[in-house]
């Protein structure tokens, strides 16, 4: 298994690793990355990856490709949402997850803050790889009234931390779609 997940770091789309510390980018050919990282280092530091719900029941993690499509949804109480997923390593089965989404046209940001208590993650048997899926993120306010949402490019950040002080930041870009509205 790769030492860290490939994700987009920063808003300029530089590929990197979301370990949040030394030993970054072991799976990245970027010359500025330190390739001496080990699984033990990643687990000590933590890593995160942004994805979407997948699988037949929508309860599995599926990676979200940089620039991938996120379909806006409406739920029973109205408003628009997207469904995301976050995969973690090194956090155990509970973590705080905050999602920030930024409109790349206007710079307008919305945030789905972590709840006051850590969220329960679904983990493999060894509790090394854990997922938060599905994660519903409200998108109201990402655009101005009347602004087109279909095809809107957004930057997404997932900030993950736990009570033990392990932290990670994952970032990617996506394109919103109104196909399901």
In tens, the pLDDT along 41-83 reads 554 589 999 999 999 999 999 999 999 999 999 987 778 999 9
Residue 7 in domain:
no
Instruction: Return mean pLDDT, the chain.
Output: 81
CA dist 28 and 114 (Å) reads 29
Number of domains present in the structure of the chain: 1
Residue 49, pLDDT score: 98
CB proximity list for 31: less than 8 A, separation 6 or greater:
none
Query: In whole angstroms, what separates CA 177 from the centre of its chain?
Result: 18
- Domain span including residue 109: 48-177
Residue 151 in domain:
yes
Residue 134 in domain:
yes
pTM here is: 0.77
| Gyration radius of the chain's alpha carbons | 16
Residue 28, pLDDT score: 35
Residue 6 in domain:
no
CATH code, 158: 2.60.40
Residue 1 in domain:
no
Per-residue pLDDT tens for 84-142? 999 999 999 999 999 999 999 999 999 999 999 999 999 999 989 999 999 999 999 99
Residue 35 in domain:
no
Name the pLDDT band for 39 (thresholds 50, 70, 90): low
Residue 61 in domain:
yes
């Amino acid at each position: 298994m790769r030492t860290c997940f490939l994700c987009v770091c920063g808003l300029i789309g530089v590929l990197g690793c979301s370990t949040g510390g030394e030993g970054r980018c072991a799976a990245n050919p970027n010359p500025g990355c330190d390739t001496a990282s080990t699984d033990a280092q990643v687990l000590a530091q933590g890593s995160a990856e942004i994805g979407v719900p997948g699988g037949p029941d929508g309860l599995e993690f599926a990676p979200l490709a940089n620039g991938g499509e996120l379909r806006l949804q409406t739920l029973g109480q109205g408003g628009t949402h997207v469904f995301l997923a976050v995969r973690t390593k090194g956090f155990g089965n509970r973590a705080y997850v905050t999602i920030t989404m930024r409109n790349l046209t206007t710079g307008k940001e919305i945030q789905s803050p972590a709840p006051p208590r850590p969220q329960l993650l679904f983990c493999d048997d060894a509790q090394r790889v854990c997922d938060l899926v599905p994660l519903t993120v409200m998108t109201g306010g990402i655009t101005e009234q009347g602004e087109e949402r279909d095809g809107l490019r957004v930057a997404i950040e997932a900030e993950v931390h736990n009570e033990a002080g392990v932290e990670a930041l994952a970032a990617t870009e996506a394109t919103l779609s109104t196909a399901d509205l």
